[in-house]
C-alpha cells in the first residue's frame, strides 16, 4: 500500500481520537487524492461545517489574504473549534511563489495561533521544500505528499493503483471497463487520477447505464493527450519527415490556443529527452539495454534505478522519473533518436526565443517552426 494512503489512515484515526496537530498540509501531483483527503478530514472534524463560524477558507484572492490571516488569530464564533483552510497552497509553496505572503503567514504561525484553530493547507502539485514556511509546518504538523500513481505491472488493471478509484465510479452506473479499454484510456489521458476520473465520467455519460466501455468507445470519445502529439511530433523530426512534423505542429496549435503554452510544453519535453540521454550516459554508457521493453522497465530497471536515485548521490531526477512508467518508457525510446548536443542547442534557442517573445514584437510561430526545421535537417 502506498505510503500516503497509510499516513492518511493513521491521521484519520488520530483525529477521531481528538489528537489534533497544529497544521495539516496535503500536497502532490495527484490533486484528486489531495482534495479527497481534505474532504475526509473535514467530515471527521466538522460534521456540521458552517462557513464563517467554524470553517474559514482562502481560495487564492490576494486581496483577502490579510483577512484570512486575521481570522487565524481569532477564536471561533458559537463553536468550540474551527478550521482555517488555505485551499490554494500552490500560491504559497511552489517555487517562485510570493515571498511577501510567505513571510506574512510564517509570522502569524510563529505567533500564538489559538489551540482551537487547526490550519489546513491543500496544494496541487509539488512544493518548494526548502522554504522556512514548509520546514516549520513539517516540524510542527502533519505533512502528506500524494505523488503520481505508477504502474509496475502492465497488462493487469487490478495491479494498477488507479484502478480501484475508477471502479468506484463505474459501480455507481453499473458499467464495466475491460483491460484493453482501460489501458487505451491510460495511454490517452494525462498521468493524473483526476483526469482519468473525468474521462471515465464522460465515457459513462456517453454509453449510458449498465453498459461496457470498449476500446472503440475510448478512441471515439477520449482525444489523444497533447503529450502524445508531442511524442509524434518529435519522432517525425528524428526521422527527418519535415512535412509530417509541420502537420503535427499545426495540430498542436489547433488543440492549444496559447502558443506560449505549446512553447513551454515543447521545452519541457526536450528537457525530458535531454535528461533521459544524461541518465543513460551514467547508468549504461549512453545506450539502452538490449532487452529493454515496457515490461522490463517496470519490473526490472525502474526498481533498480530507484535504488540509485534514493541514495541522493546522483542528484535530483524527479522531473524524469516522477511520472507514469509508460511515459518514462516513451521518453527513453525517443531520446535515443537525438544527439545530446542537438537537444541542448534546441533548449538554449527556445529559452532565448521565449525571452525575445516577452520583450519584442516578433513572429513567434515562424521562429519556433524554424528551430525545429533546422533540428529536423540536422538529424
114 and 204 both lie in a single domain:
no
Which of 55-64, 77-86, 108-117, 307-316 shows the lowest mean pLDDT across its residues? 307-316
Do residue 206 and residue 72 come from a single domain? no
Judged by average pLDDT, the poorest of 6-15, 63-72, 190-199 is 190-199
- Contact by Cβ (8 Å): 189, 199: yes
Asked whether residue 89 falls in the same domain as residue 35, the answer is yes
**Do residues 374 and 245 share a domain?**
yes
Q: Which residues pair with 83 in a beta bridge?
A: 55, 118
Angstrom distance (rounded) from CA 20 to CA 36: 19
| Rounded mean pLDDT, 339-358 | 90
Please say if the pLDDT value at position 14 is more than 80: yes
Where among 221, 237, 259 does a domain terminate?
Answer: 221
Torsion 186-322-124-62 (CA) sign: negative
Q: What is the pLDDT of residues 196-220, one digit of tens each?
A: 888 898 899 888 878 899 999 998 8
Q: Quick check: is 327 in a domain?
A: yes
The whole-angstrom separation of Cα 249 and Cα 266 is 11
- Domain end among 145, 167, 201: 145
Domain harbouring 107, CATH code: 3.40.50.300
Residue 255: per-residue pLDDT: 67
Q: Which three cell numbers stand for residue 267?
A: 521545452
Structural domains of the chain, count: 3
CATH of the domain at 168: 1.10.8
What pLDDT does 228 receive?
74
**All 3 cell numbers of residue 171?**
459501480
Output the nine-digit C-alpha cell for 87: 485551499
236: Cα separation from own chain's centroid: 27
CA atoms within 13 A on the CB side of 226: 16
| Range of the structural domain that residue 314 is part of | 226-378
* In a shared domain, residues 105 and 212: no
| DSSP-based three-state secondary structure for 350 | helix
Looking at the fold, whether 214 and 232 belong to one and the same domain comes out as no
Give the chain's length: 379
The CATH code of the domain that includes 330 is: 1.20.272.10
The mean predicted confidence, pLDDT, of the chain is 85
State the first-to-last Cα distance of the chain, in angstroms, to the nearest integer. 45
- pLDDT tens-digit map of 79-108: 778 899 998 888 888 877 678 888 888 888
| 216 and 310 assigned to the same domain | no
379 pLDDT exceeds 70? no
Mean pLDDT value across residues 325-348: 87
Contact (Cβ atoms closer than 8 angstroms) between residue 218 and residue 357: no
Among 177, 198, 221, the domain boundary falls at 221
Domain assignment of residue 150, yes or no: no
Same domain? 370 vs 266: yes
* 245 and 312 housed in the same domain: yes
Phi, psi torsion values for 259, nearest 5 degrees:
-70, -35
Q: 151 lies in a domain?
A: no
Can you tell me the distance from the alpha carbon of 36 to that of 358, in angstroms, rounded to the nearest whole number?
A: 38
Where does the pLDDT of residue 116 fall: very low under 50, low under 70, confident under 90, or very high at 90 and above? confident
pLDDT of residue 151: 60
Residue range 34-55: mean pLDDT, rounded: 87
Cα torsion 260, 263, 264, 265 to 10°: value is: 120
CA 128 to chain centre: 14
Residues 277, 286 contacting (CB under 8 angstroms): yes
Mean pLDDT for 138-152 is 83
Please list, in sequence order, all residues whose beta carbon lies within 8 angstroms of the beta carbon of residue 312, skipping any fewer than 6 positions away.
none
243 and 166 assigned to the same domain: no
The HSE-up count of residue 214 (CA atoms within 13 Å, CB side) is 5
Task: State the Cα–Cα distance between residues 313 and 290, nearest whole angstrom.
Answer: 26
* Rounded distance between C-alpha atoms, residue 279 and residue 137, angstroms: 34
The reply to whether 152 falls in a domain is no
Answer yes or no: is 33 within a domain: yes
- Both 243 and 258 in one domain: the answer is yes
**How does residue 175 score in pLDDT terms, banded at 50, 70 and 90?**
very high
DSSP letter at 298? Answer: I
pTM score of the predicted model: 0.64
Which residue in the block uniquely carries the three cell numbers 463553536? 79
pLDDT digits (tens, 9 = 90+) for 280-332: 888 877 777 777 888 788 888 888 888 878 777 667 788 888 777 777 888 88
Residues 130 and 18 both lie in one domain:
yes
Measured distance CA(33)–CA(360) in Å, rounded: 42
Percent of the chain with pLDDT over 70: 96
Amino acid at each position: 500500500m502506498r505510503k500516503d494512503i497509510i499516513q492518511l489512515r493513521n491521521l484519520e484515526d488520530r483525529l477521531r481520537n481528538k489528537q489534533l496537530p497544529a497544521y495539516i498540509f496535503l500536497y502532490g501531483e495527484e490533486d484528486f487524492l489531495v482534495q479527497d483527503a481534505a474532504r475526509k478530514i473535514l467530515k471527521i472534524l466538522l460534521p456540521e461545517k458552517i462557513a464563517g463560524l467554524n470553517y474559514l477558507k482562502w481560495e487564492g484572492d490576494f486581496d483577502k489574504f490579510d483577512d484570512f490571516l486575521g481570522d487565524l488569530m481569532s477564536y471561533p464564533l458559537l463553536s468550540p473549534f474551527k478550521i482555517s483552510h488555505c485551499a490554494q497552497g500552490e500560491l504559497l509553496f511552489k517555487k517562485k511563489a510570493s515571498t511577501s505572503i510567505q513571510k506574512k503567514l510564517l509570522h502569524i504561525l510563529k505567533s500564538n495561533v489559538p489551540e482551537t484553530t487547526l490550519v489546513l493547507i491543500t496544494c496541487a502539485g509539488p512544493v518548494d521544500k526548502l522554504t522556512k514556511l514548509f520546514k516549520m509546518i513539517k516540524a510542527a504538523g502533519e505533512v502528506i505528499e500524494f505523488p503520481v500513481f505508477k504502474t509496475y505491472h502492465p497488462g493487469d488493471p487490478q495491479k494498477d493503483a488507479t484502478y480501484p478509484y475508477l471502479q468506484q465510479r463505474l459501480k455507481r452506473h453499473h458499467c464495466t471497463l475491460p483491460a484493453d479499454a482501460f489501458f487505451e484510456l491510460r495511454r490517452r489521458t494525462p498521468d493524473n487520477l483526476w483526469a482519468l476520473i473525468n474521462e471515465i465520467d464522460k465515457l459513462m455519460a456517453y454509453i449510458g447505464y449498465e453498459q461496457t466501455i470498449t476500446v472503440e468507445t475510448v478512441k471515439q470519445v477520449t482525444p489523444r493527450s497533447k503529450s502524445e502529439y508531442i511524442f509524434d511530433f518529435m519522432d517525425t523530426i528524428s526521422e527527418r519527415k519535415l512535412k509530417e512534423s509541420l502537420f503535427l505542429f499545426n495540430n498542436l496549435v489547433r488543440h492549444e490556443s496559447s502558443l506560449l503554452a505549446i512553447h513551454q510544453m515543447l521545452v519541457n519535453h526536450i528537457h525530458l529527452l535531454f535528461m533521459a540521454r544524461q541518465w543513460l550516459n551514467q547508468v549504461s554508457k549512453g545506450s539502452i539495454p538490449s532487452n529493454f521493453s515496457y515490461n522490463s522497465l517496470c519490473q526490472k530497471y525502474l526498481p533498480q534505478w530507484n535504488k540509485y536515485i534514493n541514495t541522493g548521490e546522483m542528484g535530483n531526477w524527479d522531473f524524469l522519473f516522477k511520472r507514469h512508467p509508460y511515459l518514462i518508457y516513451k521518453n527513453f525510446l525517443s531520446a535515443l533518436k537525438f544527439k545530446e548536443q542537438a537537444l541542448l542547442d534546441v533548449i538554449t534557442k527556445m529559452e532565448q526565443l521565449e525571452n525575445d517573445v516577452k520583450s519584442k514584437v516578433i513572429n513567434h510561430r515562424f521562429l519556433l517552426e524554424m528551430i525545429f526545421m533546422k533540428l529536423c535537417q540536422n538529424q
